[in-house]
Every structure is written in C-alpha cells, then in structure tokens.
Copies of this chain bind each other. A is one copy, B any other.
Amino acid sequence: MTQSKEPDHLQLNSQGRLRHFLTLDGLDRATLTEILDTADSFIEVGKRSIKNVPLLRGKTVVNLFFEASTRTRSTFELAAKRLSADVLNLNISTSATSKGESLSDTLQNLEAMASDMFVVRHSQSGAPHFIAESVTPNVSIINAGDGRHAHPTQAMLDMLTIRQHKGSFEGLKVAIVGDILHSRVARSQIRALNTLGVSEVRVIAPNTLLPVDIESLGATVYSTMKQGLDGVDVVIMLRLQKERMEGALLPSEHEFYELYGLTTEKLKYAKPDAIVMHPGPINRGVEIESAVADGPQSVILNQVTNGIAVRMAVMSMAMSGQTAAISAAASE
C-alpha cells in the first residue's frame, strides 16, 4: 500500500501517517478507512454517560477562523473539548492580516505560546497549506474549509454516514446535486468517493454551476434530476451559496428549485432505499423540500453527529502523527 506523496506529502509524516489534515488529495483508501474506523469508535464514546476521552489532555487547540462560521467552529470546539484539549477561539478578520507578514507574525506568536494544533478556516483556497508549510514540527493544521478548495472533514463525515447506512462503498452509485462550481466540499467528496471505491459518482447541475475540469475529477455529468438520480443509492444535496454566486448565470431560486430542488416526486427516481444528505444549514424550499429533509430517507442529522466524531478522529490522528514525527526526528 503506497501513499501518493504529491502534491500533499505535507500532511503525512515520514511513516506515511497523518500529521496535518489539509485535503483528501493524496490520501489512499487505507488512510481514509482508518479515519472512518477511528470516527466509529468516537460514535460509541458519544453514547456513553461521560463523553470525554483524554487523548488531547494538556494540549492547546486554537480555532483560527479568518472567516466566521459559528456552526463549524462549534463542532470543532466540541470535538476538541471531548478530547480534553484546552481550546482558544480566535476570530481574525482577514483585513487585519491582509499582509502576508502580519499573518506570519500572528502564527509564529501562537506557535510560541506552545499551541499544538490550529484549526484553520479561511476564505482563500490554499491558506491551510500555506500555514502548514510554515509552522514548526510542534503544530498540526486541520483544514476547516478554505475558499472553494476543500472542506475535508465535511467530506469525511459524509463518507462515514454513507458507510453507516450502506455497509460499504462497493457498487454504490452516488449523485451530488447543486452548485458544484462554488462548493468547497464537492471536490473533496468526489475524491473520497472514488478512493473508497464506489462504482459511479454523478454530478447533477446546470452547466453554469459546473467547473470546467469536472469530468477529470472522476464524475459523470447529468443535467436533469430524472436521469441523474435514476437508480442511485445516495443523494448528496449541496447548499446554495448565495453569497458566492455573484455574477454566476444562476437561474432564479424558484427556477432552480423546479429543476434541481429535491422533492418527494424527484426522489422517486432514486432507489427506494436511497439516503438523502445535506451539509446544512438547509434552505428549505430552495434546495430541498421539507418533507424530504425530515423524511425517512434523510440522514441529515446523522451527518451532524458524525461530524463531531470525524473531527475527533482527524484531530487525534494528526496529534498522534505529530508526536511520532517528533520522536522519529529526535532519534535520528
């Protein structure tokens, strides 16, 4: 089993273990499966009377949010606290750190405070990579969403949810519906689904909301729900990022819903036991009908529960990989 070291050798230590978690690019099936297995064990912990484990006790986790997201920040804060870490929340407006030097100084200061992990959210694609390149060996970076590039914990919680409900990935047909172009999670999802061995990944979207390189990512394009949902096992709805769509040739909200909104009627095109996913928060009546969001095929709230477990998994694995890398370097 070989890990591709390019372009993401950054996030693996010399033993091929996670020490940052930046992207799903370059992670092989064994690593993704280890994340899912570790997350499964935290799902069990979440059901106990005492939900905390001491894996990050005495460690300092800094939530470094250059872009506000109460929802994502809360899930990382809870995950870190359940791992018994000390958590420092910092909201840093991008304007204050628009100069590269200043961002660099902020980071070096936080490192010097003996922080062990930065959870980074940034509006610019690649910011977590840039930070991971510059930090000392004593800090791990977790990507909590960067521009349109990636949101890898979101993609992994989706994978966990699929495995929970379908048992395995083999033979599955999965459709991703909506604004692929502006989604920071769609690319991560397509990557993960292919790595984990589903039989087909479909994207369903108007041409104006598709990136030009979509087929090279390993997805088949459909432009209608009728054809795209036909026989699928999993339907992943994306959120309409209204604020990201300026200038896009978007149909009206009403027209979008008519064509791509997931209704009870359209869901019938999928397999009878297909599951319905959405990253939240839901725009009811825009991307999805309430009857579907709250219906028996919806696993949307399972995704939320799985989000805590997946975040606990990648945080504990990255910390373990960091420790191993430091030990290895010390014994050289």
The reply to whether B109 and A304 contact each other, CB–CB distance below 8 Å, is yes
Which chain B residues border A114 with CB–CB below 8 Å?
46, 51, 305, 308
A328 within 8 A of B: no
Question: A275 → chain B, closest Cβ, in Å?
Answer: 16
- Chain A stretch 29-56: residues in CB contact (< 8 A) with chain B: 46, 48-52
Q: A323 and B52: CB pair below 8 A? A: no
Whether the pair B70, A77 counts as a contact (CB closer than 8 A) is: no
Which residues from chain B contact A90 at a C-beta distance below 8 Å? 70, 74
A281–B112 alpha-carbon span in the complex (Å): 13
A101 interface residue (CB < 8 Å to B): yes
Determine whether A194 belongs to the interface, using a CB cutoff of 8 Å to chain B.
no
Q: How far is the CB of A273 from chain B (nearest CB, A)?
A: 22
- A70 nearest CB neighbor, chain B only: B90
Among A81-89, A200-208, A239-247, the stretch in contact with B:
A81-89
Question: A interface, how many residues as a size bin?
Answer: 35 or more
Residue of B nearest to A293 (CB): B105
Please state the number of chain copies in the assembly.
3
A280 within 8 A of B: yes
| A301 & B86 in contact (Cβ 8 Å cutoff) | no
* Max chain B C-beta neighbours (<10 A), residue from A71, A82, A109, A304: A109
Contact with A86, one of B48, B81, B105, B109 (Cβ below 8 angstroms): B81
Residues in B neighbouring A88, C-beta threshold 8 A? 74, 77-78
Complex Cα distance, B290 from A323, in Å, reads 32
Pairs of residues from A and B, 6 with the lowest C-beta to C-beta distance, nearest first: A50-B58, A112-B304, A81-B86, A112-B301, A52-B58, A46-B114
Provide 24 A-B residue pairs closer than 8 Å at the C-beta atoms, listed in order of the A residue.
A49-B323, A50-B57, A50-B58, A50-B59, A51-B114, A60-B78, A60-B82, A74-B88, A78-B86, A81-B86, A102-B281, A105-B280, A105-B281, A105-B282, A108-B301, A108-B304, A109-B280, A109-B281, A109-B304, A112-B304, A112-B305, A113-B305, A113-B307, A114-B305
Instruction: Name 9 extra pairs, CB < 8 A, besides A60-B78, A71-B109, A105-B281.
Output: A49-B58, A51-B58, A60-B81, A74-B113, A81-B86, A106-B281, A112-B302, A112-B304, A112-B305
Which A residues are within 8 Å of any B CB, using their own CB? 46, 48-52, 57-60, 70-71, 74-75, 77-78, 81-82, 86, 88, 90, 101-102, 105-106, 108-109, 111-114, 280-282, 284, 290, 301-302, 304-305, 307-308, 323
